A = this chain, B = another copy of it.
Amino acid sequence: MSLLPLQLHLTLPPWISEVADTSRRYHTDEERVGLAIELSQRNITLGTGGPFGAAVFDEHGRLIAAAANRVIPQTCSVAHAEMLAYMLAQQRLASFRLNAQGTRYTLATSAQPCCQCYGATVWAGIDELLIGARSEDVEALTEFDEGPLPNDWIGELQRRGIAVRRDILRDRARAVLAEYGAAGQSY
């Protein structure tokens, strides 16, 4: 008889529901990345994970899913904010490709996706990727490595129908990373 685990259970902390407001619309890039940054800030303030947040919106600005980094609390290297946001949004829409029915979706993230989240972005079914801090900000301000990417990582996404806009509220996103890095935190 096998003792192999066959189930995975990943959770987000309950405060996500206080920060993410489903009663409003998030219309602008700044509103969307602003939420991702707020998630990253709250996550380190409350000690529930690393300094990263992400959220998925539909084309009407409705919030579909919101997440924060959970790598250490869940002992799971996959549990980056973007990965969780994709999985939660796909579960909610019951679709393994978010835009399969023609509605357009956006991922907003507090910092440039690492190599894992970059690859996941190719399959998730989004039409737009909105980024706060750059990869070099993450690596300069914290101990995190962003991993190897294709040289033309933006072009590779664009050729697959995913527009990329970055440096959205970059200074605010950098401030969260700087706070985390200065505290020498490692969760």
* Beta-carbon contacts under 8 Å, A117-174 to B: 117-120, 122-125, 147-151, 153, 156
Interface residues of chain A, those whose CB is within 8 Å of chain B, are 1-14, 16-18, 20-22, 63, 65-66, 71-72, 74-79, 83-84, 86-88, 90-97, 114-120, 122-125, 147-151, 153, 156
Residue pair A124, B77 in contact (C-beta under 8 Å):
yes
A8-B91, A14-B6, A65-B5 known; A120+B116 contact, CB < 8 A = yes
Q: Which residues of B contact A9 (CB under 8 A)?
A: 7-10
Copies in the complex: 2
Residue of B nearest to A159 (CB): B148
A95 to B74, CA, bound (A): 9
Contact, CB under 8 Å: A75 / B88 = no
A120 close to B76 (CB less than 8 A): no
Instruction: Kindly identify which residue among B5, B10, B125, B149 contacts A150, using a CB–CB cutoff of 8 Å.
Output: B149
CB-CB under 8 A from A1, the residues of chain B are 17
Residue in B closest to A63 when the chains form the complex, CB atoms: B4
